[in-house]
Amino acid sequence: MNIEKLKKILEDNKKDAQYYAILYDNSEYNIRFSDSKIISNRVSSNSFVEITSILDKKVGVSSTTDLSEESVIKCIKKSYSIALEAEENEEYTPLIEDEKYDDSTENSLNFEKEVSEIEDYLHLIFNKDKRIKIFGYITGEISNISIINSVNLLKRTTIPRFSYSMNIKNDKLTRSVWRSDISSVSNIDLLKNIYTQLLKDYKYTSIKKDLDPGRYKVVLSPSALGDLLMYMSFFLLAKDADEKRSPFKDLLGKKVFPEYINLYTDPFIKDIKSIPFLIFDTSGVNPIFDIGQSLSKQNIIENGVVKGLISTRYYDQKMKYKNNLPTVSNLILEGSDKEYLDFIKDIDNAIYINNLWYIRSVDPITGLLTGLTRDGVYKIEKGRFVYSINNFRFNQSPIKVLENITSFSKSYLSTPREFGDSFLSSVICPYCVVEDFNLSSVSEAI
Amino acid sequence: MPFDKFTYRNYAKSLLESSNLKKIDFCEIRFQEDLIENIYFKNLNLENIYNLESKGFSVRVLLNGNWGFSSSNIITKVSILEAFSKAVNMVVGLPKGRVTLTTEDIYKDEDIQSVIINPFDTPISEKIQYIKSIQNDLLKYKNIDFSDASLVQVFEKKLYLNSSGSDIYQERTRIYPHFMLYKTIPELTTLKLNTRPVGEGYEYFKNYPFQEEIPKAAENIYEKSKAKSVKEGKYNLLIDPSNLWLTIHESIGHSTEMDRVLLYEANYAGSSFATVSGMGDLVYGSDKVNIVGDRNQKNGLASIKYDDEGVKTTQFDIIKNGVLENLQTNREIASISGMNHSNGCSFADSYSSFPLQRMPNVSLLPNESKDLKLGDMLNIMNDGIYILGDGSWSIDMQRYNFQFTGNIFYEVKSGKIIGMIKDLAYQSNTQDFWKSCIEIGGKSTYSLEGAFNCGKGQPSQVAPVSHGAPISLFENIKVLNTKNEN
Ligand SMILES: [Zn+2]
């Protein structure tokens, strides 16, 4: 199935419906390793088509992984019959007309070569030092996404994504460090660099001290801050805020954060490829009528002022909003021009947190989140990592985190531990000092 | 095209009976189709109806102790041979891997879960009208400003064949109606209706007692909005199954997964404080605590006759009188730990997913000797907090430190409920918590709850699972005020 053929089948079978359709195909490989052994080698190719039929203001969506012509026709009929039975959607907005976009590429995944190169390297490091155990996950994937609609919209993109993560523990399982990297091109050097860096991190864990829970000055890594920003993006729906169902209620247009806080989304940022148009319902808002909408650089927080929230065209028109955004294709928090190492050198006394984990919303009024620190909590004294510390459970709102940032480094491509697992999301953000971070209780976990 | 199990079986057999199999040590093929229909309402606006048909197959081969896996959504004789070659190419030439398998019986069987009404046989318009009528009934109350409703229905078909000769076809149905209510003045108060995900047909939704529950929910959300904020400290907690299921899931369900114990998930979901040598020895809780794993439990979300490695499922003790008895296994990890058989806990969430060791239904058994009811349990507790419904949840990488909230909290004095409180989270450590379990309610307080979306694995998978429990009493547990935590 290709998009031209899909268009023809749709035109022949749409009856009196408007439609849009998404054609998605993906190929990927994944290697998992644990305890210095490879535990699974997976290769997979998947595709599906998703058809939305719109009859007057009634909508039906149907998708299938069976791309035979017969099955696609059945899928069109299914979406039509759902629309027929549905009720009018009060948020109906005419579909986006006549827009074209294409940055798709013909790249295919060279999985056999890449996998064997990676596995050779892994076996090399597995056998290097028997006192450490190596864990991790490597994945390479290429996704092609095309969208068409009944009013002459055609958009295509290709999103390649290669991610490398590794965790090193000692054989007694009392020490543990983790790093990860992502890229839009396959690059085994990233994996090699992770291993080298991890061996350095591992040295910091040779001395471990206990620290009581409390409110501390912390340094969050881009991974830790990235997870908090990702979670905060779930609170950014304009309608929820207006309905007083979000911690961002009454904050639009207000200066909430220090003036050096600038948060935005930009699908065309160079560091990693993002999808430049709206495809799925990734944000929790219901964007049915906006699928295919162009995304651009848009501010969420500008000089500390909440500038734009996530919204639909329908809602923006109704409420006369000008600065909202359809989704966050990625999140970028502006940093300073200080390199990471120079930034750390200037810190006198703080707790460094490498990763956060198991993050959940506790209080939707304040945005309070809970979660754990993981794989790297260190004491920084006079600009140096001096020893490692036990893990903690934190209770902390990401809004307060942004309020309490007092300094930061330059921004780096982040690999959030919990929410970094999807090609639909990426974060670029700095290392930052956060005052008064609530480390609520000690976790014995390693 | 429909799920054509006869044709698919022939395709699979032509691979399994071919000379290709001489190249490898073991092979299994799984065809899977998931039909999913989701309906979303926000108040009276039908936000979306989404129908999804996911169908394809995977081939998993074992060669020299290494797993190779390949999947595709194109089901033809040729694509199966191609997938086999890719799976072999992933592992050919690798140094000897760690994988061995337990020897299991061979089955040729079909098992179709019987439901009264297949959700996909009910017209969509009927479901829409039914949800809308419930929404109307809810929104009549001035204390309910918003109601977000969703109905998720799944019909799953699996055909499994392996090179040992097993040939198994199974069908499963599950459904989850969900209603979240909001009162926004003076500040946000949320309340969930007590509907839960179940391994049943549409009849569960149709027969659910909304008419009884809705007026109570309207009163409860008002009372919750007026409730006083909890004073932090240590309290006795009487926990309803609608809250305790999630604590069982996180603290016991996950910590007794043997793959986590063996560090398979260390890079991602995490490991466990439990150990293989702790079986028969490790004290998990007080002697009142008896936990079983059971994939045969009626209406259980993880219930099925054979798992995704063709192993016949069973019921087994996980914790007996407070002591760890067994861990959950699949064929690989059971073999690594020197056990003779898997206890049937393999699951893959779609045709393209590598099967993992996943949870059976993990449940706390009711008190055998006394059928203690809510009133009895309140009297035994005397002073404390009675918690109903699930809320927020989080637990650390080794399943020690956890924190849970809930849906409704009552203050109890001298065995009597005196009113609602709010802003509460309980924080404890798995073993401390279960050791503080001082009484377990009787059979009549038992209820089966669960989730559709337990996460694990890389790439991540979700699994449905149920957890049953009676009302249970825990003493001296740390309670936080979530407003003070901010
Ligand atoms: Zn889970």
Q: Which of A286, A368, A442 sits opposite B48 (nearest CB)?
A: A286
Geometric angle at alpha carbon A77, from A73 and A78, rounded to 5°: 115
Q: What is the pLDDT of residue A58?
A: 96
* Ligand 1 centroid, distance to B201 Cα (angstroms): 23
Distance from the alpha carbon of residue B455 to the mean position of ligand 1, in angstroms: 5
Rounded to the nearest whole angstrom, what is the distance from the C-alpha of residue A319 to the centroid of ligand 1?
40
Instruction: Kindly tell me if the per-residue pLDDT of B342 is higher than 70.
Output: yes
Give pLDDT, residue A425: 77
Specify the pLDDT at position A281: 59
In this predicted model, what pLDDT tens digit does every residue of A240-267 receive, in sequence order?
999 999 999 999 999 999 999 999 999 9
Residues 6+ apart with CB under 8 A from A341: none
Contact assignment for B55 to A90 by CB distance below 8 Å: no
Which CATH superfamily hosts domain A3-204? PmbA/TldD superfamily (3.30.2290.10)
Nearest CA to B215 out of B315, B141, B297, B301 is that of: B141
Residue B124 contacts A where some CB pair is shorter than 8 Å: yes
Q: Which domains does chain B have, with CATH numbers?
A: 5-226 (3.30.2290.10), 229-485 (no CATH)
Mean pLDDT of B8-36: 96
Alpha helical stretches, state H, A281-339: 313-319
Which SS3 state, helix, strand or coil, does residue B8 take?
A: helix
| Residue A285 pLDDT class (50, 70, 90 cuts) | low
* Residue B403 contacts A where some CB pair is shorter than 8 Å: yes
Mutate to test the interface with B, among A87, A122, A138, A315 (most CBs of B within 10 A): A87
Q: What does the pLDDT look like over A64-110, one tens digit per residue?
A: 999 999 999 999 999 999 999 999 999 999 999 999 999 999 878 88
Residues B35-59 have a mean pLDDT of 95
Pick from A65, A123, A361: CB nearest B54? A65
* Contacts for B62 with CB less than 8 Å, ≥ 6 apart: B24, B25, B26, B27, B68, B99, B101
Using the 8-state DSSP alphabet, how is residue A333 labeled? Answer: E
Beta strands in B223-336 (DSSP E): 228-229, 233-239, 291-294, 315-320, 323-324
- Residue A303 gets the label, from left (phi > 0), alpha (psi -120 to 50) or beta, of left
| Whether pLDDT at A283 is above 60 | no
Provide the residue type at B383 as one letter. Answer: D
* Rounded Cα gap, residues A96 and B71, in angstroms: 36
Q: How many whole angstroms separate alpha carbon B274 and alpha carbon B259?
A: 11
In three-state secondary structure terms, A164 is strand
In chain A, % of residues over pLDDT 90: 93
ipTM exceeding the 0.90 mark: yes
A237 pLDDT higher than 60: yes
Does the model's pTM come out above 0.95? Answer: yes
- Measured over the CA atoms of residue A341, residue A342, residue A345 and residue A349, the dihedral's sign is negative
As a whole number, mean pLDDT of residues B456-478 equals 97
Give percent of chain B above pLDDT 90: 99
- CB contact under 8 Å between A167 and B270, yes or no, is no
Cβ contact A265:A298 at 8 Å: yes
- From B106, B357, B366, B109, select the one nearest B254 (Cα to Cα): B357
Q: What is the mean pLDDT of residues A183-207?
A: 96
Residues whose beta carbons lie less than 5 angstroms from ion ligand 1? B 454
* Residues of chain A above pLDDT 70, percent: 98
User: Quick check: helix, strand or coil at residue B325?
Assistant: coil
- Cite the DSSP H helix spans in A64-187: 69-85, 111-126
pLDDT at B167: 98
How would residue A111 be classed by pLDDT, with cut points 50, 70 and 90?
A: confident
The alpha-carbon gap from B396 to the nearest alpha carbon of chain A, in Å, equals: 6
Instruction: Give the tokens for residue B283.
Output: 């004290």
CA–centroid distance, B457 to ligand 1, in Å, is 11
Average pLDDT over residues A331-340: 97
Average pLDDT over residues A283-303: 87
Q: What are phi and psi of A299, to 5 degrees?
A: -85, 140
- Tokens 């480094």: give the residue: A409
Mean pLDDT over all residues of chain B?
A: 97
Contact A286 B47 (CB under 8 A): yes
Residues A203-230: what's their mean pLDDT? 97
Predicted local distance difference test score (pLDDT) of residue A284? 52
Average pLDDT over residues B55-65: 98
Q: Confidence band (pLDDT; 50, 70, 90) for A318?
A: very high
Of all residues in chain A, the one with the smallest CA distance to B98 is A37
Convert the pLDDT of each residue in B292-336 to its tens digit. 999 999 999 999 999 999 999 999 999 999 999 999 999 999 999
The DSSP bridge pattern shows strands B291-294 and B315-320 to be antiparallel
C-beta of residue B242 within 8 angstroms of C-beta of residue B389: yes
The C-alpha angle B324, B330, B335, rounded to 5 degrees, equals 85
Taking the mean position of all CA atoms in its chain, how far away is CA B365? Answer: 17
Mean pLDDT of A196-224: 97
Which tokens sit at B329? 């296994």
- pLDDT recorded at residue A288: 87
**pLDDT value for A423:** 66
User: In this complex, do A63 and B354 lie within 8 Å of one another by their Cβ atoms?
Assistant: no
Please enumerate in sequence order all residues whose Cβ is within 8 A of that of B393, keeping only pairs 6 or more positions apart, or say none. A360, B246, B247, B250, B402, B403, B404, B405
The torsion defined by the Cα of A70, A72, A78 and A84, in degrees rounded to 10, comes to -110
Domain ranges of chain A: 3-204, 207-446
Distance (angstroms) between ligand 1 centre and the Cα of B456 equals 7
User: Quick one: what percent of chain B has pLDDT higher than 70?
Assistant: 100
N- to C-terminal Cα separation, chain A = 48
